[in-house]
């Protein structure tokens, strides 16, 4: 039991359970089949991004470009299909685009050595512009079959959205964690200089982290395209902050070297549940944006306060 | 000059970077004139300088936070600007008599926001960029909540005057902002707290060992940043004649770029440099408009320019000695 | 037999010449000790061979082929492993994971978790730490951490192994364990270089010993043929037989007012307790090997990292932080300008007036007068301080404190990396302050400097520290380099 309490993602489990219960009572029809499935469909892209962002945080950095990248990939995915590309080809090209963004982020962080916060912030601006250029106004209808498959398909009883866009990424992460790269990501995040002196290739490791994050974001954008109709150059922007809150609540330390993407998924679950709780309270739309911001703020502040207090107790012992 | 510690430094290096900046501005105007006839006209220059004044104020906001160190940036300035503009217009309700009260309200709010920023950064060890980014979202949400999406169109006359030309081609705003910039300069260079900010940013540990209460100094920096952002919002209100939700968002990136060009970093930064950096950014922005580029490409190019500026001015040292 | 050869390696850090054309040779099947005082360059050359520092000139050759080691990755590839005095262990991994971090065992592409445990257990058992693999680094004792660091190095099966002061935190039986392992490695032809200051270890474990002094190569001896005195002579350049043993004290101590007094104070990182007293007008030099608590002493007297209890001018007080200390007219000057003294990109003027203008608002001597008195060579007072040479920078930093007439001056290697003439100027300034009634604690890693201070000061003594305690107080004619070394280096029977 004490092992469980010590797990970094324990607070997020508590929060998730709390809101699962709360939403059951206060959000009308939350657990009805269709409603709950829709909730999951909305959650899945955020969870997928949180997996990627958590890895950059573990590696000692952060990725602020995720929201804008979702917009870019969503718009280009839709545009490619409108221009006649098949679903498979469109996915492949979109993932390739995401990969390129990851490489650029990695380059400026690891080689040019600019603060990751500033690099990904600049990249966010670039992607925002790119998305608007590809699709200036939200429009299009996307691929109806894909939307149907994503929205209501199941495989062996598991929703396709959850299976392919959260469970599969988690599995991929765990496969990576079981390679030496898994160790190296945590090492570089904990202490870049010590890792360097131990003979670890810190440049390659950092490249990997940002490429992984961008690919996860690209994959999440595909999921997102299955959830909204058409391409929207602005709809994904809130992912950036929500994914970071998800990572932090999930136990990833912003200083690096600690955390796990499963925590990020739990954190994403918390954020989405909290957003629904606010919606369920039927507050006016004018409060929505504010309350979403407060959810992120309180999530991050609460988690950081929790770890500061925990550390103080430990050092006093 | 002696070679010391491998760094051959000439004390004139400040002047050189100002020269370069000025030359850059001239070059941009020449290019602009080539792209669109009338770019280098007095009217356009006056316009550019007016809007550059707003950027300069926000850049000074960044200056406070960046000078004091720890690679901090304030990403909430845009939202604070919007809040300041929206609430000021709303509280004033077109009555000149209510201006001082409205000013006091928005200044208080701005200070409170920065106080929260500082608390998260200092006590909870949340990195400055993330804390301010989150607060920015919260403030934007608050703005929407407060205004119910209805934007007040009535702005008191004195504020509207900011956008009018009074002395030759120069608009009122230039003089008002000039005064504010001079005050900022005096604070930073003459008052003890201001001077301490540079030292804390230059070497926080050494500052602490000299007996400086570094946390209080950093708090002061954040509060000043808030004040500058609030004032910038009011300036923007007067210049553009309307208060629009999220009108300040684009200024975050521009303020960072302007500050970085102006030579602002840990322990260093000049108010005048921020002004020049602001002029460059505004000129560049106008250039993109003159070239008839769509909004999206303008944003895209702004992002690329920021990345290039960071690559030139904001690199971390190598791992090996 | 494997053969490592360093030819004319030079390395400078800015103005400081850490290595000056050092040549070194080590063979497989022999253990070489690298001996030298503080600042002799032994750590630097280890880091150069290990790829952590880039050398300025010279060559490193292994078996007659030149090694191009420009990073730790390249060093690892060449089979060169260097442990550093700072541990490389990370506390977010278990002991076993830390040990295997440099070379993670793989089965096809996957980390072989079982192999990690097995490999770690095998080497931990040799080190006497069986079953430690699953433990967290934070739960280890200090000596256990160094043993794990050692395990991490040998698990790589290096061709060249350099151990930098790995035994400093170890108990006798730990050292014996390491000795046995090194003997095995030696037989396998590994080239082993040990940096240590413990004479008994040198004679017990090593076949040869190379002595460095002031960044230069002095000589190499067979341990079977050399005496301890000869080694000390090589290290210091002085004949130890001239060492004056205890007995000759300086003539009567005048009654002076006590400034600071601490009793039974435990310096952080050490087990022992220290008693220390500083009187008005007195200068106390603090000597000893690096890392024996001298630095901690002055820092804790300044309340740098945590509050300190002390008796100040007869009153018991608690200093909570440096701000408190400065208000009570304490001054702290460190030789680590970059991290603790210099506001590099700020002007000389700002650097010198920090305390007087911003903190104490005291009436101070004009800055130009002080700068002139200290003979600071500079351009304009508005130039950035980093345009000055190290010595002049340090003088400005000193000036920042002295113009406020402090009561207590706490110095931690204040003349580090500055040239001889500047040093003499600084010594004069310190002595002058003492004459005006200040109390000075002068920590230095340069024994000659500490001894030289006696010329300037009226009331002067040297305390030699080891392991967080004062081992010996030297005054008058006792203050010689040989005596300092005698008490600074634990002798054969000295166990922890």
* CB of A178 less than 8 A from some CB of C: yes
Q: Which residue of C has its CA nearest to B211?
A: C323
Lowest pLDDT segment from A283-287, C356-360, C361-365, C376-380: C361-365
Write down the pLDDT at residue C491: 62
Question: What are the residue boundaries of the structural domains of chain A, listed by start?
Answer: 17-311
Q: What is the CA radius of gyration of chain B?
A: 20
* CB of A196 less than 8 A from some CB of C: yes
Collect all residues of chain C within an 8 Å Cβ-Cβ radius of residue B199. Answer: 343, 346, 350, 354, 358
Is C11:C48 a contact under the CB 8 Å cutoff? yes
Give the whole-angstrom CA distance, residue A98 versus residue A219: 8
Decide which of C390 and C192 is more confident: C192
Lowest pLDDT segment from A70-79, C192-201, C244-253: C244-253
Q: Report CA A306 to chain centroid distance, whole Å.
A: 22
Give residue A175's pLDDT band: very low, low, confident or very high (50, 70, 90): very high
Q: Rounded mean pLDDT of chain A?
A: 90
Query: pLDDT tens, A246-275?
Result: 999 998 988 889 999 999 999 999 999 999
Count of domains observed in chain B: 1
Query: pLDDT tens, A153-171?
Result: 888 888 888 999 999 999 9
Asked whether residue B20 is domain-assigned, the answer is no
* CB of C118 less than 8 A from some CB of B: no
* Residue A209 vs residues A176, A181, A205, B320: alpha-carbon distances, Å: 11, 10, 6, 22
Residue from the list C14, C339, C345 with its beta carbon closest to the beta carbon of B205: C339
Q: Please give the CATH architecture assigned to the domain spanning A17-311.
A: Orthogonal Bundle (1.10)
* CB of C341 less than 8 A from some CB of B: yes
Q: Within 10 A of C52 (CB to CB), how many other CB atoms are there?
A: 21
Asked whether residue B218 is domain-assigned, the answer is yes
C103-123 mean pLDDT: 89
DSSP C227-248: -HHHHHHHHHSS-GGGPPPTT-
Write down the pLDDT at residue B244: 85
Angle of helix B42-67 relative to helix B77-92, nearest 10 degrees, comes to 120
> Which residues have a Cβ under 8 Å from the Cβ of A106 and sit 6 or more positions away?
A206, A207, A208, A209, A210, A211
* CB of A191 less than 8 A from some CB of C: yes
Triad C354, C358, C364: Cα angle to 5°: 70
Q: Rounded mean pLDDT of chain C?
A: 84
Helix then strand then coil, in percent of chain B rounded to 5, is 75, 5, 25
At residue C418, φ and ψ (nearest 5 deg) are -115, 155
H-type alpha helices, A135-227: 144-152, 160-162, 168-177, 180-190, 192-197, 202-227
A98-123 mean pLDDT: 94
Q: How many residues does chain B have?
A: 321
Asked whether residue B89 is domain-assigned, the answer is yes
Asked whether residue B131 is domain-assigned, the answer is yes
Joined tokens for residue C155: 């698990």
pLDDT of residue C493 exceeding 60, the answer is no
Joined tokens for residue C469: 């305690």
Asked whether residue B28 is domain-assigned, the answer is no
Collect all residues of chain B within an 8 Å Cβ-Cβ radius of residue C357. Answer: 192, 195
* Superfamily for domain range C3-240: P-loop containing nucleotide triphosphate hydrolases (3.40.50.300)
Which parts of chain B have pLDDT scores under 70? 1-17, 152-153, 165-166, 321
H-type alpha helices, C100-190: 113-126, 142-154, 172-187
Instruction: Please state which CATH class domain C258-488 belongs to.
Output: alpha beta
Collect all residues of chain B within an 8 Å Cβ-Cβ radius of residue A109. Answer: none
Give the whole-angstrom CA distance, residue B229 versus residue B110: 8
Query: pLDDT tens, C254-289?
Result: 567 888 888 888 888 787 888 888 888 899 999 988
Residue from the list B71, B75, B253 with its beta carbon closest to the beta carbon of A115: B71
Give residue A35's pLDDT band: very low, low, confident or very high (50, 70, 90): confident
Query: In this complex, do B314 and A115 lie within 8 Å of one another by their Cβ atoms?
Result: yes
Is A306:A14 a contact under the CB 8 Å cutoff? no
Interface of B with C (CB under 8 A): 1-2, 4-7, 9-11, 192, 195-196, 198-199, 202-203, 205-213, 267-268, 320-321
C464-475 mean pLDDT: 87
Residue from the list A180, A201, A257 with its beta carbon closest to the beta carbon of C92: A257
Q: What is the DSSP letter of A107?
A: I
Query: In this complex, do B73 and A117 lie within 8 Å of one another by their Cβ atoms?
Result: yes
CATH number for the domain spanning B176: value is 1.10.3470
> Which residues have a Cβ under 8 Å from the Cβ of C110 and sit 6 or more positions away?
A178, A179
Write down the pLDDT at residue B53: 94
Write down the pLDDT at residue C336: 84
Q: Which residue of C has its CA nearest to A199?
A: C73
Give residue C365's pLDDT band: very low, low, confident or very high (50, 70, 90): low
Give C421: exposed, middle or buried? Use CB within 10 Å, 0-12, 13-18, 19+: exposed
Collect all residues of chain B within an 8 Å Cβ-Cβ radius of residue C403. Answer: none
Collect all residues of chain C within an 8 Å Cβ-Cβ radius of residue A179. Answer: 106, 109-111
C48-64 mean pLDDT: 90
B73: nearest Cα among A114, A211, A235, A112: A114
Query: In this complex, do A179 and C109 lie within 8 Å of one another by their Cβ atoms?
Result: yes
Query: In this complex, do B307 and A128 lie within 8 Å of one another by their Cβ atoms?
Result: no
Give residue A208's pLDDT band: very low, low, confident or very high (50, 70, 90): very high
Residue bearing tokens 């020049």 = B276
Asked whether residue B206 is domain-assigned, the answer is yes
Q: Within 10 A of C360 (CB to CB), how many other CB atoms are there?
A: 18
CATH 3.40.50.300 region(s) of chain C?
A: 3-240, 258-488
Is C160:C4 a contact under the CB 8 Å cutoff? yes
Write down the pLDDT at residue B77: 96
- Here the ipTM equals 0.86
Residue from the list C72, C92, C110 with its beta carbon closest to the beta carbon of A198: C72
Write down the pLDDT at residue B295: 86
Range of the domain at B97: 49-291
Asked whether residue B300 is domain-assigned, the answer is no
pLDDT of residue A243 exceeding 90, the answer is yes
Give the whole-angstrom CA distance, residue B135 versus residue B154: 28
Write down the pLDDT at residue C254: 59
3-class secondary-structure state, position C334: strand
Give A87: exposed, middle or buried? Use CB within 10 Å, 0-12, 13-18, 19+: middle
Mutate to test the interface with B, among C343, C383, C397 (most CBs of B within 10 A): C343
């Amino acid at each position: 039991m004490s092992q469980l309490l010590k797990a970094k993602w324990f607070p997020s489990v508590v929060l998730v359970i709390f809101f699962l219960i709360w939403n059951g009572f206060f959000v009308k029809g939350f657990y009805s089949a269709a409603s709950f499935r829709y909730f999951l469909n909305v959650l899945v892209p955020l969870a997928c991004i949180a997996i990627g962002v958590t890895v950059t945080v573990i590696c000692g950095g952060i990725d602020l470009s995720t929201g804008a990248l979702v917009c870019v990939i969503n718009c280009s995915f839709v545009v490619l299909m409108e221009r006649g590309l098949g679903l498979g080809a469109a996915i492949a090209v979109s993932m390739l685009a995401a990969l390129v963004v990851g490489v650029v982020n990695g380059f400026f962080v690891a080689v040019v050595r600019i603060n990751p916060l500033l690099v990904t912030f600049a990249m966010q601006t670039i992607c925002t512009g790119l998305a608007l250029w590809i699709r200036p106004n939200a429009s299009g209808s996307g691929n109806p079959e894909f939307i149907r498959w994503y929205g209501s398909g199941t495989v062996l009883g598991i929703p396709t959205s959850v299976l392919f866009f959260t469970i599969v990424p988690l599995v991929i992460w765990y496969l990576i964690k079981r390679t030496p790269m898994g160790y190296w990501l945590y090492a570089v995040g904990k202490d870049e200089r010590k890792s360097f002196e131990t003979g670890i290739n810190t440049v390659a490791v950092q490249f990997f982290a940002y490429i992984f994050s961008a690919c996860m974001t690209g994959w999440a954008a595909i999921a997102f395209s299955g959830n909204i109709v058409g391409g929207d150059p602005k709809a994904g922007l809130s992912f950036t902050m929500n994914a970071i809150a998800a990572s932090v609540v999930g136990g990833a330390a912003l200083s690096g070297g600690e955390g796990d993407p499963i925590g990020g998924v739990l954190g994403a679950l918390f954020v989405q549940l909290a957003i629904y709780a606010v919606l369920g309270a039927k507050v006016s739309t004018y409060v929505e944006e504010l309350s979403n911001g407060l959810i992120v703020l309180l999530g991050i502040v609460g988690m950081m306060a929790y770890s500061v207090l925990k550390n103080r107790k430990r050092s006093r012992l | 000059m002696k070679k010391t510690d491998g760094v051959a430094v000439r004390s004139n290096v400040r002047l050189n970077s100002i020269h370069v900046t000025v030359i850059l501005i001239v070059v941009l105007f020449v290019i602009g004139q080539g792209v669109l006839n009338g770019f280098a006209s007095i009217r356009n220059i006056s316009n550019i300088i007016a809007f550059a004044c707003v950027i300069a104020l926000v850049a000074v906001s960044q200056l406070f936070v960046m000078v004091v160190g720890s690679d901090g940036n304030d990403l909430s300035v845009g939202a604070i600007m919007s809040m300041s503009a929206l609430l000021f217009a709303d509280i004033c309700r077109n009555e000149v008599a209510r201006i001082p009260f409205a000013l006091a309200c928005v200044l208080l709010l701005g200070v409170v926001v920065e106080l929260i920023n500082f608390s998260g950064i200092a006590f909870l060890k949340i990195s400055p960029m993330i804390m301010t980014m989150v607060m920015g979202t919260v403030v934007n949400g608050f703005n929407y909540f407060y205004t119910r999406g209805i934007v007040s169109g009535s702005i008191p006359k004195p504020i509207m005057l900011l956008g009018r030309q009074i002395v030759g081609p120069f608009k009122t705003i230039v003089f008002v902002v000039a005064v504010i910039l001079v005050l900022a300069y005096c604070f930073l260079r003459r008052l003890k707290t201001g001077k301490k900010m540079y030292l804390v940013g230059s070497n926080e540990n050494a500052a602490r060992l000299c007996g400086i209460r570094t946390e209080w100094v950093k708090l002061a920096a954040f509060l000043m940043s808030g004040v500058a952002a609030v004032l910038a919002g009011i300036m923007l209100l007067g210049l553009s004649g309307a208060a629009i939700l999220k009108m300040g968002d684009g200024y975050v990136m521009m303020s960072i770029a302007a500050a970085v060009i102006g030579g602002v970093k840990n322990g260093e930064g000049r108010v005048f440099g921020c002004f020049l950096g602001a002029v460059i950014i505004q000129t560049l922005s106008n250039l993109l408009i003159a070239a008839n580029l769509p909004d999206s490409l303008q944003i895209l190019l702004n992002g690329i320019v920021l990345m290039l500026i960071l690559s030139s001015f904001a690199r971390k040292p190598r791992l090996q000695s | 037999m494997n053969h490592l050869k360093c030819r004319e390696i030079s390395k400078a850090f800015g103005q400081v010449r850490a290595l000056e054309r050092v040549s070194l040779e080590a063979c497989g099947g022999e253990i070489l000790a690298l001996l030298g005082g503080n600042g002799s360059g032994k750590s630097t050359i280890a880091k150069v061979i290990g790829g952590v520092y880039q050398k300025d000139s010279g060559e490193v050759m292994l078996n007659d082929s030149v090694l191009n080691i420009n990073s730790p990755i390249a060093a690892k590839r060449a089979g060169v492993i260097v442990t550093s005095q700072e541990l490389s262990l990370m506390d977010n991994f278990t002991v076993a994971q830390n040990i295997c971090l440099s070379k993670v065992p793989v089965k096809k592409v996957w980390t072989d978790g079982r192999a990690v445990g097995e490999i770690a257990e095998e080497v931990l058992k040799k080190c006497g730490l069986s079953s430690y693999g699953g433990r967290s680094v934070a739960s280890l004792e200090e000596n256990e951490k160094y043993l794990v660091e050692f395990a991490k190095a040998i698990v790589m099966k290096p061709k060249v192994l350099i151990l930098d002061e790995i035994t400093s935190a170890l108990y006798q039986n730990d050292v014996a364990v390491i000795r046995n392992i090194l003997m095995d490695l030696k037989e396998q032809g590994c080239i082993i270089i040990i940096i240590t200051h413990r004479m008994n270890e040198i004679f017990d474990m090593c076949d040869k010993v190379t002595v460095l002094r002031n960044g230069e190569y002095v000589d190499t001896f067979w341990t079977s043929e050399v005496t301890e005195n000869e080694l000390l002579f090589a290290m210091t350049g002085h004949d130890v037989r001239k060492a004056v043993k205890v007995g000759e004290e300086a003539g009567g101590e005048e009654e002076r007012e006590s400034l600071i007094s601490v009793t039974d104070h435990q310096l952080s990182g050490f087990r022992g307790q220290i008693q220390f007293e500083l009187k008005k007008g007195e200068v106390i030099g603090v000597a000893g090997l690096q890392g024996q608590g001298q630095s901690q002493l002055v820092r804790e007297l300044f309340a740098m990292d945590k509050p300190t209890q002390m008796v100040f001018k007869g009153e018991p007080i608690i200093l909570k932080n440096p701000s408190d200390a400065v208000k009570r007219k304490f001054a702290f000057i460190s030789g680590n300008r970059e991290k603790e003294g210099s506001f590099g990109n700020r002007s000389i003027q700002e650097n010198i007036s920090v305390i007087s203008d911003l903190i104490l608002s005291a009436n101070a001597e004009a800055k130009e007068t002080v700068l002139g008195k200290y003979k600071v060579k500079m351009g304009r007072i508005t130039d950035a301080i980093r345009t000055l040479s190290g010595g002049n920078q340090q003088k400005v930093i000193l000036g920042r404190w002295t113009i406020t007439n402090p009561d207590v001056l706490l110095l931690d290697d204040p003349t580090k990396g500055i040239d001889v003439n500047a040093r003499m100027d600084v010594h004069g300034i310190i002595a002058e302050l003492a004459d005006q009634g200040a109390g000075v604690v002068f920590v230095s890693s340069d024994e000659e400097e500490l001894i030289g201070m006696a010329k300037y000061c009226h009331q002067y003594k040297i305390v030699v520290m080891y392991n967080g305690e004062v081992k010996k107080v030297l005054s008058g004619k006792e203050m010689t380099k040989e005596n300092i070394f005698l008490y600074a280096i634990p002798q054969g029977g000295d166990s922890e």
